[in-house]
Structure 1
Amino acid sequence: MELMKAAVFNGVENMQVKEVPKPICEKDGILIKVEACSICGGDIRNFHNGLRHGIESQIMGHEIGGIIEEIGDEVGFFKKGDRVALAPDVSCGQCVYCKRGLVNLCNDHKMLGTHWAGGFAQYVYLPKQVWTRGFIEKIPDTMSYDQAALAEPASSVIACQEYNNVKVGDVVVIIGDGPIGCLHIEVARARGASKIVMVGLDKLHLVPPFKPDHTIHAINQDPVKEVLELTDGIGADIVICANPVTKTQQQAVEMVRKRGRVVLFGGAPKNNAMTTLDSNRIHYNEITVVGAFSYPSNGLEQAIKYISEGLIHTELYIHNLLPLEHIVEGIAFAETGKGLKVIMKPWNN
């Protein structure tokens, strides 16, 4: 039996790096050598709170760049040696939403790194259901594996702004200064926004390289007052809440213009998901409040294109590269505000 190194989650704040059996590639599966796996905010939440659906033990990690090591005889299109990016979402293909092309809203939505072993390992195996109903895309020879690992989070940001029609001339406010918020800056700029405002807190010092037009400290300043002053009292065309704080959703409704849009991009903690919005303001100002989750079937492909064309500058996000043995250290680094993205390198010592 061949073994591989993996970081195995065994319960709340219990992650052990050890040797486990290397997956066997079946005739309809794909085995990928993981070269880079980025730590996601979801990985951090799962580390502290546990996995969903009663899953007690798993190899997490779903922002993956790698190379196809083995491939089953029944698999078409891909071949051994293909360099690829992966995203975690796997749809059923049968529910009412899948049949409408809304795979991100699948009634039986599953994820690599939760329902199947993920990328915090030297190898990740994709059974037929995962590679046919999930996301795997070839990457250009010019794209590094570290860049490929950032394609997944970029996918959801691009999808959000396309769905909400961020366009030339828009004033866009982004609340949340983490990697997702910074991705929103770059995507909004690529789509032609005329003014981009970042509202942040502990990572605000990391935002200047992304060159927003204005930054606002969420505590030391009054975000609503500042946005209204920056827009001559009109308000923003669109406000994107890219964080898990419900108070900022209330502020978003106060700072958006009439007929503007408020996008709830970040999910709130399950034990604190309720909030109160000014329904009269929404009503009389005809404000649209929408959610944004995941991405469509071409989402990963779109993100790879953005990165390849230099619209997303991946080097600005990656602040630490660590071997798998230091994954707990990587999680701590990612949540302290010292950096934006941490990439785990399973083959480094």
Structure 2
Amino acid sequence: MGTMRAAVFESIENMVVREVPIPECEEDGILIKVESCGICGGDIRNFHIGLRHGVKSQIMGHEIAGTVYEAGSKVTRFKVGDRVALAPDVSCGECYYCKRGLVNLCVDHKMLGTHWPGGFAEYIYIPGFVLSRGFVEPIPEGLSFDEAALGEPASSVIACQKYNNVTEGDTVVIIGDGPIGCIHIEVARARGASKIIMVGLTRLDSVPQFNPDHIIDAGSQNPVEEVLKLTNGLGADIVICANPVTKTQQQAVEMVRKRGRVVLFGGVPKTAPMTELNSNMIHYNELTVVGAFSYPSIGLEEALRYIAEGKISAKKYVTEKVTLDHIPEGMKLAQQGKALKVIVKPWER
């Protein structure tokens, strides 16, 4: 089959672009030519602290859009030339949770970009098991590859708001001004929220274009006081913590109304996962504090539909594009808040 260029994660903060063999397409798999692959906050974290289970010499990247280049003889869902979007999660299909349809909670949860080579390459091979247990969806007509690559991060946002029933008339606070927080603004609006408040710190310049009703700068304002002011002392119906900071979870409990919901959406560093929440407020105010992680089997399909219908303005997020050779620089731009969403273009030089 020849070789392809790929950015290979060798070890912590060491990514090398090299020629590697193009994977062979077996009868139940598909080979995809990667056109766009988003850089995720998880990719950045893994670049600095390492992949799960100490995996090395792996191609990272999991927010993928491309074209089916080759399809195995037993594959019926896709044919050569189909435009597809991918998400990384692969479930076992057999555990307690998978059997109940909760694929995101699979006890043997695996991922493209960790357990199988990911999208920071000219091609990605999807074996039969991943094709049946993972996420590969057709890209709706009219969507670019860059827009479709946003489907994966949007999937978890939509699933979170459906699960927590964000609905008409709600006052929603989103803490975290990265691309995920901004997608939360748009999804909350699409679901009918009447007042959307963004609390941010370093990337607030990007936020106004997504039209929240209010923006709170946590660097110069007290988020709890400001939210209470904006809600006539009542508090928000729901607060979504879309960042990796435990302090904001503590603030969320103090800015939500009685019988309100606090959603822990952003994972915090594994080295410091413990937090302290005011248990008296949770008790006396009858608060619900929940986690939200990943998405159901229809997650990617639903997200692509949201983007195709204009509920999520995907083009606005793509503020930087990099080649395979410049992925670490792209990560730096995202970390420094100089880019909202960075897209890797494997075929550009």
Match of 2:260 in 1: 260
Across the aligned residues of Structure 1 and Structure 2, the Cα RMSD in angstroms comes to: 0.6
Please give the per-residue CA displacement for 1:264-287, whole angstroms capped at 9, x wherever unaligned: 000000111101001111011110
Residue 219 of structure 1 and its aligned partner are, at CA, apart by 2.1
Stretch of structure 1 that moved more, 171-180 or 71-80: 71-80
Instruction: Show structure 2 runs of 5+ residues with no match.
Output: none
Say yes or no: does 1:190 pair with 2:190. yes
Please give the per-residue CA displacement for 1:232-291, whole angstroms capped at 9, x wherever unaligned: 000000000000000000000000000000000000001111010011110111100000
Give the distance between the partners of 1:56 and 1:346, measured in 2 at CA: 21
Match of 2:13 in 1: 13
What does residue range 295-310 of structure 1 map to in structure 2 within 5 Å? 295-310=295-310
In the alignment, residue 284 of structure 1 is paired with which amino acid? Y
What does residue range 141-220 of structure 1 map to in structure 2 within 5 Å? 141-220=141-220
Residue 97 of structure 1 and its aligned partner are, at CA, apart by 0.2
TM-score with structure 2 setting the length? 0.99
Give the distance between the partners of 1:311 and 1:178, measured in 2 at CA: 18
What does residue range 18-167 of structure 1 map to in structure 2 within 5 Å? 18-167=18-167
Residue 141 of structure 1 and its aligned partner are, at CA, apart by 2.6
In the alignment, residue 324 of structure 2 is paired with which amino acid? L
What does residue range 306-317 of structure 1 map to in structure 2 within 5 Å? 306-317=306-317
Give the distance between the partners of 1:137 and 1:286, measured in 2 at CA: 40
User: Partner of 2:271: helix, strand, or coil?
Assistant: helix
Match of 1:279 in 2: 279
Residue 76 of structure 1 and its aligned partner are, at CA, apart by 1.3
Give the distance between the partners of 1:45 and 1:17, measured in 2 at CA: 19
Please give the per-residue CA displacement for 1:20-51, whole angstroms capped at 9, x wherever unaligned: 11111011111000000000000000000000
Please give the per-residue CA displacement for 1:278-306, whole angstroms capped at 9, x wherever unaligned: 11110111100000000000000000100
Residue 14 of structure 1 and its aligned partner are, at CA, apart by 0.2
The alignment-based identity, stated in percent, is 71
Residue 334 of structure 1 and its aligned partner are, at CA, apart by 1.1
In the alignment, residue 39 of structure 1 is paired with which amino acid? I
Instruction: Show structure 1 runs of 5+ residues with no match.
Output: none
Give the distance between the partners of 1:25 and 1:278, measured in 2 at CA: 54
In the alignment, residue 20 of structure 1 is paired with which amino acid? V
TM-score with structure 1 setting the length? 0.99
Match of 1:342 in 2: 342
Does the 8 Å CA contact 2:159/2:296 hold for their aligned counterparts?
yes
User: Partner of 2:262: helix, strand, or coil?
Assistant: strand
Give the distance between the partners of 1:80 and 1:316, measured in 2 at CA: 30
Residue 18 of structure 1 and its aligned partner are, at CA, apart by 1.0
User: Partner of 2:80: helix, strand, or coil?
Assistant: coil
User: How many residues get paired?
Assistant: 349
Please give the per-residue CA displacement for 1:98-146, whole angstroms capped at 9, x wherever unaligned: 0000000000000000100000000000011111000000012311000
Give the distance between the partners of 1:193 and 1:138, measured in 2 at CA: 30
Please give the per-residue CA displacement for 1:126-174, whole angstroms capped at 9, x wherever unaligned: 0111110000000123110001100000000000000000000000000
Match of 2:321 in 1: 321
